[in-house]
Structure 1
Amino acid sequence: MSSDSKKVNMPRPELFDFHGVPMTHFFTDDWENVQNFKARPDDILIATYPKAGTTWVSYILDLLYFGQTSPERQTSIPIYERVPYLELNNPNVISGKDLADNLPTTPRLIKTHFPVQFVPKSFWEQNCRVIYVARNAKDNMVSYFHFNCMTRLLPEPGDWSSFYQKFLDGKVLYGSWYDHVSGWWKKKMTYPNLHYMCYEDLSEDTGREVDKLCSFLGLSPSAEFKEKVVNGVQFDNMKKNQMANYSTFPAMDFNICSFMRKGKVGDWKNHFTVAQNEGFDEDYKKKMKDPTLQFRNEI
């Protein structure tokens, strides 16, 4: 499956409405099994809207927990096997649920792009720690567009202007960005074991955000080790790291673009026309109803 021809020739899936959220079969085929997933109290769930810093935070956590005790993991096991994608069910790779069930680590690090209402209930019942990463909508849209272009697991994105409209309308895989970030923000109010973080903050001062993560998780790494983690997760270092950059993952076409493209805050300015930016800002005012949830479009 990892040959380039197979990567490029996989048929694209179609979106369909699934309990009110646009999904594709790759993320719903194993629905019952995923919903019955048995979380353990020490599991850590990393949740994001797609392309909001999932791999970045996954890699930070993997280093914090296992960077010292199992350094060989860093050079031999790709991040998508160390931190399984719970709902992914692509017949060409082991299902995310099976990978998660068989993780040998404690804690198990598991990732999802589910909106909050789709999360298997055992995570809440076991009072698992959950880390949600949100990214400003403009950059998230741009990153998601490029990702849609290069991965065969997602529907055909069309050109930039048609994807822009689909994103505004919430007609993309996992649905509306607004519903996603707001739904998780609301959950934080009633579920204290949820740490909500922003991509822009992580970009601005990675060390500070790693400190906050450590505080949430009850970790106290040495200053020297923390510096090693912060250095290892810099974008350029991760982009070159074959175990972090998804270059070994089937179903992605790196001839179109890399999985880790730029990682910059404010790259939306290279894509949005003046009219698109104005239209977006109008739309944002209507849809972002919670004044306590604030994003920065540049830093």
Structure 2
Amino acid sequence: MKKKFDWEMLVHSIFLTLGLVSVASVLLITIYLIIAGLPAIFEIGFFDFLFGKEWASTAGAAKYGILPFILSSVYGTLGALLIGVPIGILTAVYLSKVASPKVKVVVNEAINLLAAIPSVVYGLVGMLVLVPSIKKLFHLSDGASLLAAIIVLAIMVLPSIIKTAVVALDAVPRDYEDASLALGATEVETYFRVSLPAARSGVAAAIVLGVGRAIGEAMAVMMVSGNAANMPSLFESVRFLTTAVASEMSYSSGLQRQALFSIALVLFTFIMCINLLLNYLLKKKER
């Protein structure tokens, strides 16, 4: 008698293999960045590299201080989240709880289209429309600035935040809301005091995705921020960690190239720390 083939074991093995491949990919990227990035940090000096205020990689006496890049990335990401998260969460609440089916279909298609637009198109529109508008509105010599980068990033993070938050809100059991309404709460109170707290893990995931999109963007930011290695100011040209790597990698060599890998290592560490921090806060709140 032939033994029946164990399909469940096969599927389990496939899923396990794919999971191990994902973990191995992250480990390989981490190891490569550490190997490629640490030598420049040791040669330049840890504090000189992270807290130096001047970046002059092509000068005779080259200087590799990335504090302006770090602060620009942090301010740009925080500014984008301050704008994008409230808009995204409110839009998600509207789509999940208030919008009619026809309106929901139309808005969802618009959000999907917004997510599919290449970053270079965001940068092009920002460069041709947003940058001149900021220059004219604030009477500046050049509208390419941190403010322009923040606005572009805020628009770019919206699809990730909205779509993830909608899924989380749709997963909240209807019984929670019915119980709240039965106790006399209004629909608006129910959405913000019952539905959103119940979906906080999904909302936190949406914010994490927004952070990753904002801090990891390069092309659009490069086109609207001016890409100058200045200490960050709202109306001054700035350079982010990502744009520093993207703008110089093609012609870099020697210590300059190693320093760019070090910047990538710092960026990778930032994103990892942010994810770990948000996950820790979320788990702590759930206890």
User: TM-score under structure 2 normalisation?
Assistant: 0.24
Q: Which has the larger radius of gyration?
A: 2
Larger helix proportion of the pair: 2
Larger strand proportion of the pair: 1
User: TM-score under structure 1 normalisation?
Assistant: 0.23
